[in-house]
A and B are shown apart, each in its own frame.
Chain A
Amino acid sequence: MIREFDVKHLTESIERMCGENACDLPYDVEQAIASSLDLEDGEHASALLSELLENARIARKERIPLCQDTGMAVVFLDVGRDVHFSGDPYEAINEGVRRGYKKYFLRMSVVKDPLRRVNTGDNTPAITTIRIVPGDRVTVTLLAKGFGSENMSRLAMLRPADGLEGVLAFVLETVKLAGPNACPPLVVGVGIGGTFDHVALLAKRALARPIGERHPDPFYADFEESLLEKINQLGIGPQGFGGRTTALSLAVNVAPTHIAGLPVACNLNCHATRHRQEVL
């Protein structure tokens, strides 16, 4: 059975999630900040983490965005193969962004051209990736991606011989180079495998995984644990002033790759990790 899907539902979903993302820190992120506060022993770190919790409280209550960088909208659309869209889903998503960013007083942070840099005035376009999946539902994931952390993200084409240790070194180096700039405590997304373009997407998708959820493969679950532990020994701490909490969470996504290659991408997100998902 083909399910007719009016794209206006997509617009409404995106519009709603733009507002929630900006002002409601996801529960998993807030919990992670609160738990790290208990362990923190850096000189400035505890006060900073408390400020972040207070900021989340004010944002939620007064509907003031958590961060002035309300981000570029990154949308993952998993479309059931039995769905038929009446209308253009890309445009429906952009319309949702246009309405949401205006309605909820969010910042218009997108320029039309990377070199000539004129603001589009409505925060469009969104960066939309569509994937076909079984079923007749549409799963919409929206990330409001800030660029303080996006700017510190990196990608490398390692040699197969570099192996696990090469990936580990690359991720640690990325976090170290980012230092205070990416607004630690971070959420770290790591992609391994695929091709040059695909590995970046793997890393981006990793940022949408709920905090604390481990990779289903125990090999990668262990790798995630040990990478996170090493990151938190760097001592960068909240805002880079020194402390235990450099990253709240880390997620790895992997994909098959070529016999000659070991692509790795490290996409950083700040503590204001804003993601929402709805199934339509």
Chain B
Amino acid sequence: MDRNEEVCRVTLPLTKAMATSFRMGERVLLTGPIYTLRDAGHQRLVTLLERGEEPPFPLEGAVIFYVGPTPPLPGYAMGSAGPTTSYRMDPYAPALISRGLRGMIGKGRRGPEVIDAMRRYGCVYFAATGGAGALLSHAIESSEVICWEDLGTEALRLIHVRDFPVTVAIDTEGRNLYDEGPALWREMQNIVTDDIIDRK
């Protein structure tokens, strides 16, 4: 782990100590293996865990990226690959976090049950820039389908990334950039009330 003033470079997988060292708002560049999984794949993974079966990849230390990429162009490892909205994975995330998942990459808010699990077990939530799929694909060096190929874009993939840019959206102390970022900006602008909304 190499932290300088601007950005923090991290090699994956993550240990618990690494996951808990990130701070809200920090810019991080990730290098190493990441698993991609979204709605349908999460449902399959959690169903399998509930039946007491082994997961198709080691959860301890793993980072999951919520993405359903476009098909790669000829000569490319990966198509457009930006994050999908994370709250749809909230029903499944705590079961994975309790089994050693150390990082999630997505965009948007998370539910309290996910944040509780992140704090309790030590798992960090990174945001990648939503809608920047072309840019992010440049940081992906390889991609292979591990299983559930029938799900198409939603299959479980192992990708290798180099300097994949993310921001710590929610850290393991529960500090949340989606709450604090807008509040800070409003404070800077001296906008004190939500007038019309707060009156409701």
Contact = CB atoms under 8 A, between A and B. Distances in A.
Interface of A: 22, 41-44, 48, 51-52, 54-55, 58-59, 62-70, 105-109, 117, 119, 121, 146, 148, 151, 165, 168-169, 172-173, 176, 179-181, 183, 230, 233-237, 239-244, 270-272
22 contacts: A44-B167, A48-B129, A51-B129, A59-B80, A63-B73, A64-B76, A64-B79, A66-B80, A66-B133, A69-B68, A70-B80, A106-B70, A108-B152, A117-B40, A119-B152, A148-B107, A169-B197, A180-B107, A183-B131, A233-B189, A234-B186, A242-B185
A242 B183 contact: yes
B30 interface: no
Contacts of A151: 85
Nearest to A243: B185
Contacts of A59: 80, 134
A21 B92 CA distance: 33
A69 B181 contact: no
B25 A105 contact: no
B196 A65 contact: no
A55 B134 contact: yes
B17 interface: no
B24 to A, nearest CB: 10
Could you say which of B80, B109, B184, B200 has the most chain A C-beta atoms within 10 Å of its C-beta?
B80
B79 A68 contact: yes
Given A44-B167, A48-B129, A52-B129, A108 B153 contact: yes
Nearest to A64: B134
A86 to B, nearest CB: 34
What secondary structure prevails in chain A residues at the interface with B? Answer: loop
Contacts, number: 183
Contacts of A148: 84-85, 107-108, 130
A72 to B, nearest CB: 14
B178 A241 contact: yes
Nearest to A270: B131
3 A-B pairs with the lowest CB-CB distances in the bound complex, closest first: A242-B181, A181-B108, A235-B182
A107 B196 CA distance: 40
Interface in B116-130: 127, 129-130
Interface of B: 25, 40, 67-73, 76, 79-82, 84-85, 87, 107-109, 127, 129-135, 137-138, 152-153, 165, 167, 177-178, 180-186, 188-189, 191, 194, 196-197, 199-200
Contact of B196 (A66, A68, A105, A165): A165
A180 B131 contact: no
Contacts of A179: 108-109, 178, 182
A65 B133 contact: yes
Given A55-B135, A68-B82, A180 B178 contact: yes
A179 B178 CA distance: 8
A272 B184 CA distance: 26
